[in-house]
Amino acid sequence: MTLLFCSSSDNADVWRAEITKHLPDLEMRVWPDIGDVADIDMALVWKPPAGLLASLPNLRLIVSLGAGVEPLLEDPTLPEVPLVRMVSEGLTVDMAGYVALQVLRWHRLVDEYGALQAASRWQPLDHRPASDVTVGVLGLGELGAASARTLRTMDYRLLGWSRSPKSVEGVESFSGADGLAAMLPRCDLLVCLLPLTAETRGILNAELFAALPAGAVVVNAARGGHLVEADLLAALDRGHLRGASLDVFGTEPLPADHPFWRHPKIRITPHVAAITHPSRSAVQVADAITAFRSGRPLANLVDRRRGY
Ligand code: NAP
Ligand code: GLV
């Protein structure tokens, strides 16, 4: 049994060292030095070249280094073998931290105090108690639910939207189009943690922004494809939205001449909200391989029909 590793943004040696702590006998090949393709029956990948996985005749398992799998599903040649996505405590804790950071940034006037410090001004500003601030989370899955729970510990009011109703303590659950319409007008901040699918592409658009209260803030930590960029700029520029924190973009890296870079109401991070750290996530990969080898049911399988 041989694992193919393919990612241009992850360190293969570090991953090998971490996975072999759990599976010392594992043979791992690193793309493009893959040797005899017939040996390979498992692949651990992030954005592999289209067609690569289809060229492996004995492939039986694909494990995604990312939680979001739309880059894989977009490859029409993707083999019909089980696809396991990344769900790990490290990734989840990272995302909850990013979301908390962005909510606090806007609620606790971090940028305003930065400007005051730059002017050497001691000027207390008013902020509402967290218990008066409502945060809506689009997507109450692994990352959305964990982010909502973290914000609850800080006393924020939490609303969450998912395909099916959810029971997350302290989070009011909404689902379906009617649920979204009911939730949006109540959100002081809206956090997107949806998977990118045919149904969710472009969901952060002019209609959604108009349904948010004036002065709302949008945080997108999911995928750039969720956001209609021109609609965000229009909603910010006419003053309806107060600001946006964006971690993900339609084109990554974000081109140097993109208007988001210099927009005074946009805060940018370069797709780092949640990282699949090998030291925290190799055990998930090892578990998937072990289950696969022993014929046990696989956790975190992607439902290709749903797209996530
Ligand atoms: P997940 O566990 O699969 O959760 C997805 C959630 O979205 C579920 O609650 C699901 O509802 C809901 N959903 C899906 N389609 C929907 C629809 N059409 N209408 C309403 N709700 C819908 O995914 P996750 O692990 O939380 O990850 C979410 C996304 O975060 C990933 O797909 C990825 O794009 C992004 N991500 C970004 C970073 C970063 O660094 N920026 C890092 C990791 C992941 P049900 O539960 O009812 O199915
Ligand atoms: C990162 O964006 C991921 O999907 O894990």
* CA–CA dist 294, 27 (Å, integer): 17
- Taking the complete model, does pTM exceed 0.75, yes or no? yes
How many distinct structural domains can be found in the chain? Answer: 2
Same domain, 40 and 58: yes
Same domain, 70 and 168: no
pLDDT for res 255:
98
Distance in Å, CA 195 to ligand 1 centroid: 4
Which residue, 268, 285, 303, sits at the end of a domain? Answer: 268
246 occurs within a structural domain? yes
Please enumerate in sequence order all residues whose Cβ is within 8 A of that of 179, keeping only pairs 6 or more positions apart, or say none: 161, 173
pLDDT in tens, 241-277: 999 999 999 999 999 999 999 999 999 999 999 999 9
Give the ligand at the shortest distance from the Cα of 175: 1
pLDDT for res 149:
98
Tokens of 194: 């949806």
17 occurs within a structural domain? yes
Q: Which domain CATH number covers 67?
A: 3.40.50.720
Distance in Å, CA 185 to ligand 1 centroid: 22
Residue 3 near residue 28 (C-beta atoms within 8 A): yes
Residue 85 near residue 106 (C-beta atoms within 8 A): no
pLDDT level of residue 114 (50, 70, 90 thresholds): very high
Same domain, 183 and 242: yes
* CA–CA dist 195, 213 (Å, integer): 24
Distance in Å, CA 256 to ligand 1 centroid: 29
pLDDT for res 8:
95
* CA–CA dist 249, 9 (Å, integer): 17
The residue-averaged pLDDT of 285-303 equals 97
Same domain, 161 and 23: no
50 occurs within a structural domain? yes
pLDDT for res 129:
98
Task: Give the atom of ligand 1 at the shortest distance from the alpha carbon of 145.
Answer: 26
13 occurs within a structural domain? yes
pLDDT in tens, 9-18: 999 999 999 9
Task: Give the atom of ligand 1 at the shortest distance from the alpha carbon of 143.
Answer: 26
Give the ligand at the shortest distance from the Cα of 87: 1
Domain holding 33, by residue range, is 2-88+276-294
Task: Give the atom of ligand 2 at the shortest distance from the alpha carbon of 66.
Answer: 5
Same domain, 52 and 97: no
Going by alpha carbons, the residue nearest to atom 3 of ligand 2 is 66
Same domain, 71 and 147: no
CA 87 to chain centre: 11
Please enumerate in sequence order all residues whose Cβ is within 8 A of that of 32, keeping only pairs 6 or more positions apart, or say none: none
Task: Give the atom of ligand 1 at the shortest distance from the alpha carbon of 274.
Answer: 40
Going by alpha carbons, the residue nearest to atom 38 of ligand 1 is 274
Give the ligand at the shortest distance from the Cα of 300: 1
302 occurs within a structural domain? no
Distance in Å, CA 136 to ligand 1 centroid: 14
Going by alpha carbons, the residue nearest to atom 36 of ligand 1 is 222
Same domain, 10 and 109: no
pLDDT level of residue 20 (50, 70, 90 thresholds): very high
User: Which sequence positions are flagged as catalytic?
Assistant: 223, 271
Same domain, 102 and 251: yes
The secondary structure of the chain as a DSSP string is: -EEEEEESSS-HHHHHHHHHHH-TT-EEEETTB---GGGEEEEEEESPPTTTGGG-TT--EEEESSS--HHHHT-TT--SS-EE----HHHHHHHHHHHHHHHHHHHTTHHHHHHHHHTT---------GGG-EEEEE--SHHHHHHHHHHHHTT-EEEEEESS---BTTEEEEEHHHHHHHHGGG-SEEEE-----TTTTT-BSHHHHHHSPTTEEEEE-S-GGGB-HHHHHHHHHTTSEEEEEES--SSSSPPTT-HHHH-TTEEE--S-SS---HHHHHHHHHHHHHHHHHTPPPSSB--TTTT-
303 occurs within a structural domain? no
308 occurs within a structural domain? no
Same domain, 51 and 93: no
Distance in Å, CA 79 to ligand 1 centroid: 23
Tokens of 136: 């809506």
Q: Is the dihedral of CA 102, 239, 115, 271 positive or negative?
A: positive
Same domain, 103 and 197: yes
pLDDT in tens, 62-85: 999 999 999 999 999 999 999 999
Same domain, 214 and 231: yes
Same domain, 125 and 260: yes
Give the ligand at the shortest distance from the Cα of 70: 1
Distance in Å, CA 68 to ligand 1 centroid: 8
305 occurs within a structural domain? no
Query: Which residues does a 6 A CB cutoff place in the pocket of ligand 1?
Result: 67-68, 91, 95, 139-144, 161-164, 193-197, 199-200, 221-223, 247-248, 271, 273-274, 308
Q: b/e map of 114-142 (b: 16 or more CB within 10 Å)?
A: eeeeeeeeeeeeeeeebeebbbbbbbbbb
If phi > 0 it is left, if psi is from -120 to 50 it is alpha, else beta; for residue 242 that is: alpha
* CA–CA dist 45, 39 (Å, integer): 17
Going by alpha carbons, the residue nearest to atom 5 of ligand 2 is 66
